Chains A and B, each alone.
Chain A
Amino acid sequence: MAEPIRVVHYLNQFFAGIGGEQEANRPPDVVDRAVGPGKALEAALGGRAVVVATLVAGDNYVAERLAEAVTEIVEHVASFRPDVVVAGPAFNAGRYGTACGAVCAAVQRNLGIPTVTAMAPENPGVDLYRSSVLIVPTGESAAGMREALPALARLALKLGAGEPIGSAEAEGYLARGMRKNEPAARTGAERAVAMLLAKVRGQPYRTELPLPEFDPVTPAPPLRDASKALFALVTEAGIVPQGNPDGIEARRATKWARYPIGNLDDLTAEAFTCVHGGFDNRFVHQDPDRILPLDAVRALEREGVIGRLHDWYYVTVGAGAPISRARTFGREIAQELVQAGVQAVIFSAT
């Protein structure tokens, strides 16, 4: 018989049975067996896989220093050489769901190990991580544990065995917003006409191309006094230092970055370039201020029209970005800006 698949399971302090909010500041800890829901998970894995370790961390510990805590957790994960990492289920616990998503995303990115988690569709962790992480939908509370675990186990076994994962609908995870081509028996024209006929007859039909939903936002209150405010520059137009040190992709970028401009009054063509795909970058290569207007912002800063410019600018490439990913990047950048005390943003797009 083949070696059992090695699973590392991530839990918060509550589900690990350590305690509630009073224990939420606990740093990551390792237990070398299945704990709490991990026991039921192991049962659902049916002997084909074994939980070699459970990582437990407090909700607040992780939420308050997400990047740092996730790095610690990923180091622990690496030491167990798992075939797959399972996180949660987190149900509708926001901090826990966010932690599960962040741990899964980091394990995939840094260790190349597949992951799967589970949480309620309304969990903020879903919006943040659904584009990159497999998330099995669950009920709102732990009452949904019995339904969540078999689906989680089934995906964990497939991932751990290196088997291909089918569509969201077939496999029972939340759609990541990816499209995969597949052969169809009938041409697009025939399928489209069939859909149209169903529509005009008032019969049910299903689009092959669901449109993304654009959620409304409450605008931020206006700036009271620009001459006293801290401004920041953000762009989705791919202005990066020459050499593109973080390797931001020209299309469908998987990352954003920040770069220092505290000592600069102008973006020169020698020092900066544009890696955004899909448009003619010539004019921007000549003068990157044509997208990221540092020279003009500095002039306004000197004259006291604006207070001060933040020492970093933030950048990604928007070309081909799925909305869910843009949303995630926006939230991550916003979080840094809020922490830095930024009060106004100049955002430039192509």
Chain B
Amino acid sequence: MAKEIERAGIPTAYFTAIPAIPLAIGTPRTVPGKAVTNPLGDPSRPIERERQLRRRMLVTAIHALETPVDGPRLFEPEG
């Protein structure tokens, strides 16, 4: 699905806890999720720390969206 949105000309940051799949099938911009059960969160953290994590993940996604790519690429969070 993310590939089809990219194909339509809209850059798409794809969060998944299983990046091997989008990298194998050629999804252009993948960002690793935290876990299958909580790709954009972490229930083990206090709520404020969890929000910070989610924010960092989205900043990584925005970086991915602003980066030219010519094939499937994984964008790891910085720091």
Contact = CB atoms under 8 A, between A and B. Distances in A.
Interface string A262-297: 000000000000000001111110110111110111
A345 interface: yes
A280 B7 contact: no
Contacts of A338: 8-10
Interface stretch (A10-18, A35-43, A216-224): A216-224
A312 interface: no
A350 B39 contact: yes
Contacts of A223: 11, 62, 65-66
A347 B5 contact: yes
A229 B35 CA distance: 28
A296 B8 contact: no
Given A300-B58, A338-B8, A349 B26 contact: no
B65 A349 contact: no
Given A283-B41, A345-B5, A295 B58 contact: no
Contacts of B10: 220, 334, 337-338, 342-345
Interface residues of A, number: 56
A283 B37 contact: yes
Nearest to B71: A219
A226 B65 contact: yes
B12 A347 contact: yes
A258 interface: no
A335 interface: yes
A282 B6 CA distance: 31
A177 to B, nearest CB: 15
A337 B36 contact: no
Given A214-B24, A338-B8, A295 B51 contact: yes
B36 to A, nearest CB: 5
A220 B39 contact: no
A330 B5 contact: yes
A77 to B, nearest CB: 29
A346 B14 CA distance: 6
Nearest to A256: B1
Interface string A233-270: 01011000000000000000000000000000000000
B65 A293 contact: no
A333 B1 contact: yes
A144 B69 CA distance: 42
Contacts of B29: 219
Contacts of A326: 1
A348 B33 contact: yes
Nearest to A345: B12
A293 B40 contact: yes
B49 interface: no
B61 to A, nearest CB: 6
A306 B59 CA distance: 10
A199 interface: no
Interface string A286-316: 1101111101110110000110000000001
Contact of B28 (A217, A283, A318, A335): A217
Interface in B12-42: 12-18, 24-29, 33, 36-41
A226 B17 CA distance: 24
Contact of A289 (B15, B41, B68): B41
Interface of B: 1-18, 24-29, 33, 36-41, 43, 51, 54-55, 57-59, 61-62, 65-71
Interface of A: 214-224, 226, 234, 236-237, 279-284, 286-287, 289-293, 295-297, 299-300, 305-306, 316, 318, 326-327, 329-331, 333-335, 337-338, 342-350
Shortest beta-carbon contacts, A-B, top 9: A330-B4, A290-B41, A330-B1, A219-B28, A334-B8, A345-B12, A349-B16, A296-B54, A283-B38
